[in-house]
Amino acid sequence: MPTAEATHPDATHRDTTDRDPTHCITCPLCEATCGLRVTTRGDQVIDIRGDPEDVLSLGYLCPKGVALADLHHDPDRLRQPMRRVAPGRFEPIGWDEAIALAGRRLAQVQAAHGPDAVAIYFGNPTAHGWAELLALALLHRGLGTRNLFSSGSVDARPRQLVSWVLYGNQARLPIPDLDRTSFLLVLGANPVVSNGSIMTAPDMRRRLASLRARGGRVVVVDPRRTETAAVADAHHFIRPGTDALLLAAMLHTLFSEGLTRPRPGTTGVDTLARAVADFPPDRVAGRVGISAEDIIALARAFAAAPGAVCYARLGTCVHPFGATTTWLVDALHHVTGNFDRVGGVMFPSPAIDLAALAERVGQRGSRDTFRSRVRGTPEFNGELPCTELAPEIETPGVGQVRALVTHAGNPVLSLPNGPRLERALGRLDFMVSIDIYLNETTRHADLVLPPSSHLERDHFSLLFHAMSVRNTVRYSEPVFDKPATARHGWEIILGLVEAHGRHAGGVRGLLGRLQGRLGRALRPRRVLDLLLRTGPRRLSLASLKRHPHGLDLGALEPDRLAGVTVDLAPTLFTADLIRLDATLATPVAPLVLIGRRTLRSNNSWMHNSARLVKGRDRCTLRMHPTDAAARGLVAGETVRVHNHVGALEAPLEVSDEVMPGVVSLPHGWGHGGPGARQNVAAKRPGINVNVVVDDAILDPVSGTGVLNGVPVEVCRREVGARGEGG
């Protein structure tokens, strides 16, 4: 089995002895959930490599896994609470004083301006902390605010919305049966780099090789010739934002050629056929950038395969038709008989069934039960889109956001129009951040409360076991004991719940205090054990501890929808095809911007690890040779990227990896600023692509911001010019 040393050249490795303990853990950094073997000597990590006995990853790991050592030992990682005493200047403060201050200030803001005057934002790392997820639910309930925001509205809401509409539960997520499918169509995703997103699949390169070795095919449709496209059987360029047109044309082909075989219990098929009748391949081909012949061939190949999967991810979610595209992906599976069957897509059977849990706690999903105060954007499952946060802070009136709690996020770098949000943060009356770094967002906080290190706490992939291509389960004990001066994230959050309750008064304050005390009394591990014991597998925490490499619970199982009726033509989505049709008559922007993902990056963090950021500059603007020549631009020069939102500057990389009319920059960079303390990142700050992303443009069905297909202009940098907002 491959070890860290074999997988890449940056493994943390020193000579070890038989007396150096080795700990088997799950990597807590991304959705792949790779198994790691961490060897320690005293309080130092001396070796990290893949766990060859892990039931899912089989020894694979990526550079981020080895960088756990950098994260744990990072001198810039905060180890005590910090209080801002002046712009860009922080001083230590004791835990009890910090928690009491935060609770009092939050309660004061709400007493003066109402419950919605406090907002909560949590970022992607929150999804990897099962105990924090449970505690944050109590914090939200204790604060009683409608202003709840999370990174899920940036990249996952279309998937959740479609699941809620079609299957009655936002947590019922169809996952590719990757290890048994014979035809994989990849849209707007790069799983060789991500190892899956809403598809836990470590060592994707090996899995794709196995798929092809058993006679299957992999086809990638993407505006970039990605790392996944490089190992596929075929790649087609597609104009950003036209995935829904492609899928509608494929469905048109299936219906017109009689290639459909929907499973029993599927309704709305005739309505769906009529809805896509206006999208024949020859009508959409010019706009999509794929010939009608190739569209028809794709549809026929998908229908003919013994098992076929369309895996569509981030690139298909973050454009103006993210929800409609996701619906059409599901429709494609349903009408070809590839839904809820071996080799197609199925619902996992994890040890803790999140869909069943959502049913029990009343979190199946909701839409439009209330709207944002300023722009009237509908909520989904009690959350508002992140693009609404800045307007809600800026705009005076009843319900204006005046205080903010953030957990494990850096929205200044990760949200559309980050400079606007950064300016808005400066207007808050109070801000508290639960984070291990002083970064571009938390430097605006009045208090920063750092949780314990990833290696000082246990780990259970609550969310990602429920999204895995194979049913597995694993629990990891902490590698190190938590220092007496540290607090776990869930302890910090429950402390805020109690402190707020003490100062809020009334029934809500009493409930907050009781919830905080109850959470401390139960402790997360007891809750986890209860969830395992009452789950479909009837496991326990003790049983998982006896299997440090995890338990293999078997392949995905078909017929999970047996007896369930699914309407393939909900009005919410069929009505949006009118808007989609109108795009065929609108002009095409000469140049649009898309993002890109790299293996050594993790959204907006992990950039303070020297091993991950070393090497050539990744923040380059990639442009097709014909587009560069038309503008008189040459590789290596610094160019200006601008539109009505802002401007940035980046070194130009000329490459036919991107299609004509498309330029690409990575997401999550742009580090620095007074008060931020990430010395490695500050030396290689990169460029914040969201400087030119308009936060006012949304997918109106899901409320997701538009990050891809952003119209821009690119020109030679003028002497003395500087990027705006970057």
Give the mean model confidence (pLDDT) for residues 471-497. Answer: 97
Q: Which residues contact 130 (CB under 8 A, 6 or more apart)?
A: 459, 460, 461, 462, 463, 524, 528
Q: Which residues contact 568 (CB under 8 A, 6 or more apart)?
A: 166, 262, 266, 267, 268, 269, 271, 272, 330, 331, 334, 335
Whether 547 is covered by a domain: the verdict is no
Nearest to 580 by CA among 700, 663, 693, 703: 700
On whether the CB atoms of residues 175 and 556 are closer than 8 A, the answer is yes
State yes or no: pLDDT of 710 exceeds 60: yes
| Domain of 193, in residue numbers | 174-346
Q: What Å distances lie between residue 651 and 192, 416, 622, 627, 641, CA to CA?
A: 26, 22, 9, 15, 10
Could you report the per-residue pLDDT of 226-285, keeping only the tens digit for each?
A: 999 999 999 999 999 999 999 999 999 999 999 999 988 899 999 999 999 999 999 999
> Are 524 and 408 part of one and the same domain?
yes
State yes or no: pLDDT of 631 exceeds 70: yes
Whether 316 is covered by a domain: the verdict is yes
Residue/partner pairs of 267-271 with CB below 8 Å, 24 or more apart: 267/565, 267/566, 267/567, 267/568, 267/569, 268/567, 268/568, 268/569, 268/570, 269/335, 269/568, 269/569, 271/568, 271/569, 271/574
Please identify which residue in the block is written with the tokens 């998908």: 302
Least confident residue range of 267-281, 343-357, 492-506, 512-526: 512-526
The CATH number of the domain holding residue 370 is 3.40.50.740
Query: Both tokens of residue 327?
Result: 């619906």
pLDDT confidence of residue 202: 97
Report the distance separating Cα 445 and Cα 313, nearest Å.
33
The CATH number of the domain holding residue 699 is 2.40.40.20
Least confident residue range of 238-247, 292-301, 318-327, 598-607: 598-607
State yes or no: pLDDT of 474 exceeds 90: yes
> Are 189 and 313 part of one and the same domain?
yes
The CATH number of the domain holding residue 235 is 3.40.228.10
Could you report the per-residue pLDDT of 527-556, keeping only the tens digit for each?
A: 999 999 999 999 999 999 999 999 999 999
Please give the angle made by the CA atoms of 233, 196 and 657, to the nearest 5 degrees: 45
Report the distance separating Cα 255 and Cα 244, nearest Å.
16
On whether the CB atoms of residues 472 and 550 are closer than 8 A, the answer is yes
pLDDT confidence of residue 269: 97
User: What's the mean pLDDT when you consider all of the chain?
Assistant: 94
DSSP track, 603-663: TTBSTT-HHHH-SS----EEE-HHHHHHTT--TTSEEEEE-SS-EEEEEEEE-TTBPTTEE
Give the mean model confidence (pLDDT) for residues 194-223. Answer: 97
> Are 86 and 47 part of one and the same domain?
no
State yes or no: pLDDT of 65 exceeds 60: yes
Q: What residue type is 477 in one-letter code?
A: E
On whether the CB atoms of residues 76 and 437 are closer than 8 A, the answer is yes
Tally Cβ neighbours within 10 Å of residue 482. Answer: 16
Report the distance separating Cα 562 and Cα 265, nearest Å.
8
> Are 331 and 187 part of one and the same domain?
yes
Least confident residue range of 1-10, 344-353, 564-573, 597-606: 1-10
Tally Cβ neighbours within 10 Å of residue 635. Answer: 13
pLDDT confidence of residue 523: 86
State yes or no: pLDDT of 522 exceeds 80: no
> Are 515 and 643 part of one and the same domain?
no
The three-class DSSP label of residue 425 is: helix
Helix axes 506-522, 130-143, angle to 10 degrees: 160
Give the mean model confidence (pLDDT) for residues 291-298. Answer: 98
Domain boundary among 297, 321, 346: 346
Give the mean model confidence (pLDDT) for residues 604-630. Answer: 95
On whether the CB atoms of residues 692 and 641 are closer than 8 A, the answer is yes
Could you report the per-residue pLDDT of 172-205, keeping only the tens digit for each?
A: 999 999 999 999 999 999 999 999 999 999 999 9
> Are 244 and 370 part of one and the same domain?
no
Whether 535 is covered by a domain: the verdict is yes
Strands 566-567 and 266-267, bridge-based pairing: parallel
pLDDT confidence of residue 564: 87
State yes or no: pLDDT of 457 exceeds 50: yes
Query: Both tokens of residue 422?
Result: 């950064």
- Please state the domain count of the chain: 4
> Are 523 and 643 part of one and the same domain?
no
Domain boundary among 34, 56, 73: 73
Nearest to 164 by CA among 697, 567, 700: 567
Please give the angle made by the CA atoms of 293, 294 and 297, to the nearest 5 degrees: 90
The CATH number of the domain holding residue 20 is 3.30.200.210
Give the mean model confidence (pLDDT) for residues 569-585. Answer: 98
Query: Both tokens of residue 186?
Result: 């990849």
Give the mean model confidence (pLDDT) for residues 612-622. Answer: 94
Query: Both tokens of residue 624?
Result: 């097709």
Report the distance separating Cα 664 and Cα 657, nearest Å.
10
pLDDT confidence of residue 265: 86
Query: Both tokens of residue 409?
Result: 């996020």
pLDDT confidence of residue 511: 74
> Are 340 and 360 part of one and the same domain?
no
Domain boundary among 73, 100, 131: 73
Q: What residue type is 80 in one-letter code?
A: Q
Query: Both tokens of residue 248?
Result: 């509608």
Tally Cβ neighbours within 10 Å of residue 634. Answer: 12
Q: What Å distances lie between residue 726 and 288, 673, 715, 723, CA to CA?
A: 32, 10, 17, 6
Query: For the chain, what percentages of helix, strand and coil (3-state, to nearest 5) are there?
Result: 35, 20, 45
- Residue with more model confidence, 130 or 332: 332
Whether 570 is covered by a domain: the verdict is no
> Are 422 and 501 part of one and the same domain?
yes
On whether the CB atoms of residues 699 and 576 are closer than 8 A, the answer is no
pLDDT confidence of residue 719: 55
Whether 478 is covered by a domain: the verdict is no
Whether 670 is covered by a domain: the verdict is yes
State yes or no: pLDDT of 39 exceeds 90: yes
Could you report the per-residue pLDDT of 363-387, keeping only the tens digit for each?
A: 899 999 999 999 999 999 999 999 9
Whether 187 is covered by a domain: the verdict is yes
Whether 168 is covered by a domain: the verdict is no
Q: Which residues contact 393 (CB under 8 A, 6 or more apart)?
A: 119, 400, 401, 402, 404, 424, 425, 427, 428
pLDDT confidence of residue 521: 72
> Are 151 and 233 part of one and the same domain?
no
State yes or no: pLDDT of 6 exceeds 70: no
> Are 417 and 524 part of one and the same domain?
yes
State yes or no: pLDDT of 11 exceeds 70: no
> Are 496 and 635 part of one and the same domain?
no
Tally Cβ neighbours within 10 Å of residue 370. Answer: 11
- pLDDT > 70: what percent of the chain? 97
For the chain, helix (H) and strand (E) counts, in that order, are 29, 31
